[in-house]
């Protein structure tokens, strides 16, 4: 095999179903992993068991959706499998490939993309870059009677890439024709920039495999044992990719839970999991139903709710834990009272010994957080709102990334245009528009125009000098970086480079206060610190490229670092809470029109809304609070509300009506317990 197995994993720590999932290593396997049933543990043990049974680590591929999940799996596998068991015939350590779909496809494209007419040093455009290209194209197209919205067109293009013409259902024909026209121009523009966007990454690999069978065969030989996590969230493109890689050797293990399929709105197709037997009729199905997270009261409620969905793989979660407390259900007059009621309960729990960090408030839409945040601030409760503006969307960070992208690929017009006059260098908007016009006319990048003296003749001498100076700056800086070797202190150099260019002084000038300017500069330097680990193992250009790739891929799924503050209540949407757990969970706004959302009745997605409620319920470990309002303000007016139909699906014997539990006068024994807890916290 070319490597030596020097370990034995302990399967006794697994329950019988987990053990069956781990030890079934040949042929197609479907692991139906219910909420809280130890899915990640099973995946990592299965990887380790494959290696223990003679499968070379470098032939194993495990794919998931987020870099955070991939890193956790990598760490767990590394803890189970010693380095010596991952050495090939040359003595080099080659661990299993554990990554996201997009990271996998970037690796494949780095090797083979030249066959599609790109250079191997392509850049990946994030959403802001993509929108910039679409705006540029739309601004040059004049369609009579059409009100052009670049954001809407970009969103439709993204859906089209992931779901084909299904994305155009219920759209006017004129918009479809226009979007397809923009799509063609967009693809041509990106190819000219040697750039791919996030949605292109998988599609380009599919194109590569369909047009170049040798590349597909190479990848099939490389990845002979494939595992896919969160399989219920795969879209059409991801499904095709997996089938192309696994269709021949058929050593495919998919792990997922159709009851937690809540991302249909972004292209996930639950049918990929429900209909797997159509493609792999010999598949072995293993159900994980023993829950290690929640009390049995919570699990019974979740089971009853999800049973209302007809098209599903039947599962019944159970636990060896205690029965637990009844679910608390409260009704409030309006959103403000609901928010205050939830906050009061959190404070009461704190007095009774439950710290803030054990509490989470879940809601269906971001707009619901406003009254909750107001009530928390008023009560001086610290909280962490998961979501909001990404660190990477801040203007100073976008400027930094634009500099890096331009140094990697100066023919990337979008980012070059962003930094050409930031800070000001005598390159006005008018000058940049003229350069852009010439670049389109001559079918060259803006950077290419800047380096062509003949094309610069129409410009004033002063402007021409500014253009040449900028072109020389980028050219000489790139040459210097390419000449440097591994270990070059790239973060320190970039910090000095930006300072020398006057960016920091410019930020201080344009910000209203010195504190705001210093904060922005601090943000840039904080980001530069993240570059340091790359410089020890890569040349400067390679370091910048890998750093940029990881940022782009992380940022696409909103995966900004969520280092939650100590002693803080978590505020989070139901869609964002999947995979997380909290001892005390408050689910608010359980009303018709919110959950289920009004759109669900029009779009036929009621089952997905019920799955969303199921996911929210199963985040709770110990205590679950539910609440709804009799009225809620909409468009400036107080409108009547009706309880969610999902509340009626919870057996009444599992629920305690708690409208007045907050206001109840405590007994002498309860009061004494409260005071004892207060004194214990102070001592």
Residues assigned a catalytic role: 39-40, 229-230, 260, 619
Instruction: Compute the CA torsion angle 585, 591, 595, 601 (nearest 10 deg).
Output: 170
CA dist 206 and 244 (Å) reads 8
3-state secondary structure 96-107: CEEEEHHHHHHH
Which residues 6+ apart lie within 8 Å of 671 measured at CB? none
DSSP 594: B
List Cβ<8 Å contacts ≥24 apart for 88-91: 88/2, 88/3, 88/56, 88/58, 89/2, 89/3
Which residues 6+ apart lie within 8 Å of 620 measured at CB? 294, 298, 581, 582, 583, 584, 585
Structure tokens at 492: 């320190």
**Helix H or strand E encompassing 272:** helix 271-274
Grouping H, G, I as helix, E, B as strand and the rest as coil, residue 366 is helix
Give one DSSP letter per residue of 526-591, joined into a string: HHHHTTHHHHTTS-HHHHHHHHHHHHHHHHHTT-----PPTT-EEEEETTT-TT--EEEEEE---B
∠ CA 494-500-505, rounded to 5°:
105
CA dist 499 and 476 (Å) reads 17
Q: Are 274 and 258 in contact (CB under 8 A)?
A: yes
User: From residue 440, how far is each of 212, 222, 409, 467, 654 by CA, in Å?
Assistant: 32, 42, 18, 18, 67
DSSP 481: H
Which residues 6+ apart lie within 8 Å of 389 measured at CB? none
Q: Are 482 and 541 in contact (CB under 8 A)?
A: yes
∠ CA 526-527-532, rounded to 5°:
95
Residue 380 exposed, middle or buried by CB count within 10 Å (0-12, 13-18, 19+)? exposed
Structure tokens at 20: 């069956």
Distance of CA 144 to the CA centre of its chain: 38
Q: Are 556 and 515 in contact (CB under 8 A)?
A: no
CA dist 78 and 582 (Å) reads 27
């Amino acid at each position: 095999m070319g490597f030596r197995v020097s370990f034995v994993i302990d399967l006794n720590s697994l329950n019988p179903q987990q053990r069956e999932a781990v030890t079934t290593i040949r042929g197609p396997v479907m692991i139906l992993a219910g909420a809280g049933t130890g899915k990640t543990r099973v995946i990592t043990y299965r990887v380790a068991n494959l290696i223990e049974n003679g499968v070379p680590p470098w032939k194993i591929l495990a794919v998931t959706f987020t870099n955070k999940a991939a890193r956790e799996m990598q760490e767990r596998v590394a803890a189970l499998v010693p380095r010596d068991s991952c050495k090939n015939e040359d003595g080099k350590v080659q661990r299993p490939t554990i990554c996201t779909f997009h990271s996998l496809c970037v690796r494949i494209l780095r090797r083979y993309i030249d066959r599609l007419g790109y250079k191997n040093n392509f850049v990946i455009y994030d959403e802001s870059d993509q929108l910039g290209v679409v705006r540029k194209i739309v601004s040059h197209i004049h369609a009579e009677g059409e009100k052009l919205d670049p954001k809407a067109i970009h969103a439709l293009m993204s859906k089209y890439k992931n779901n084909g013409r299904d994305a155009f259902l219920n759209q006017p024909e004129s918009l479809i024709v226009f979007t397809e026209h923009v799509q063609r121009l967009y693809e041509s523009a990106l190819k000219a920039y040697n750039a791919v966007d996030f949605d292109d990454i998988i599609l380009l690999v599919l194109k590569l495999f369909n047009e170049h069978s040798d590349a597909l065969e190479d990848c099939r030989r490389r990845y002979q044992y494939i595992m896919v996590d969160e399989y219920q969230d795969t879209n059409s493109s991801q499904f095709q990719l997996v089938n192309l890689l696994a269709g021949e050797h058929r050593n495919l293990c998919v792990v997922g839970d159709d009851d937690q399929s809540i991302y249909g709105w972004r292209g996930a197709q639950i049918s990929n999991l429900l209909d797997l037997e159509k493609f792999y009729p010999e598949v072995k199905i293993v159900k994980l139903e023993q829950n290690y997270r929640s009390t049995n009261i919570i699990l019974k409620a979740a089971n009853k709710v999800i049973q209302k969905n007809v098209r599903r793989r039947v599962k019944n979660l159970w636990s060896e834990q205690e029965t637990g407390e009844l679910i608390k259900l409260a009704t409030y007059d309006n959103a403000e009272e609901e928010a205050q009621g939830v906050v009061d309960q959190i404070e009461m729990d704190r007095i009774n010994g439950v710290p803030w960090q054990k509490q989470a408030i879940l809601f269906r839409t971001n707009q619901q957080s406003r009254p909750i945040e107001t009530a928390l601030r008023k009560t001086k409760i610290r909280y962490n709102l998961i979501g909001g503006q990404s660190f990477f969307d801040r203007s100073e960070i976008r400027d930094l990334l634009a500099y890096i992208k331009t140094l990697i690929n100066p023919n990337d017009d979008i980012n070059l245009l962003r930094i050409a006059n930031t800070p000001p260098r005598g390159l006005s908007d008018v000058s940049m528009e003229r350069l852009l016009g010439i670049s389109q006319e001559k079918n060259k990048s803006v950077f290419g125009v800047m380096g062509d003296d003949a094309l610069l003749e129409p410009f004033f001498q002063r402007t021409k000098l500014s253009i040449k100076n900028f072109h020389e700056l980028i050219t000489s800086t790139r040459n210097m970086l390419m000449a440097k070797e591994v270990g070059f202190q790239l973060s320190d150099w970039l910090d000095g480079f930006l300072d020398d260019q006057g960016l920091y002084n410019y930020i201080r000038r344009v910000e209203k206060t010195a504190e705001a300017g210093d904060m922005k500069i601090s943000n840039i330097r904080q980001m530069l610190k993240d570059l340091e680990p790359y410089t020890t193992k890569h040349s400067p250009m390679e370091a910048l490229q890998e750093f940029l790739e990881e940022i782009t891929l992380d940022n696409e799924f909103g995966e900004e670092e969520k280092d939650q503050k100590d002693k803080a209540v978590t505020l989070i949407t139901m869609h964002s809470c999947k995979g997380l757990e909290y001892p005390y969970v408050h689910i608010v706004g359980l009303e018709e029109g919110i959950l289920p959302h009004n759109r669900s009745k029009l779009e036929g997605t009621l089952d997905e809304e019920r799955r969303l409620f199921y996911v929210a319920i199963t985040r709770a470990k110990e205590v679950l609070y539910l609440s709804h309002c009799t009225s809620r303000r909409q468009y400036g007016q107080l409108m009547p509300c009706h309880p969610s139909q999902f509340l009626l699906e919870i057996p009444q014997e599992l629920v305690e009506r708690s409208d007045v539990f907050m206001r109840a006068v405590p007994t002498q024994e309860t009061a004494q317990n409260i005071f004892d807890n207060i004194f214990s916290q102070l001592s």
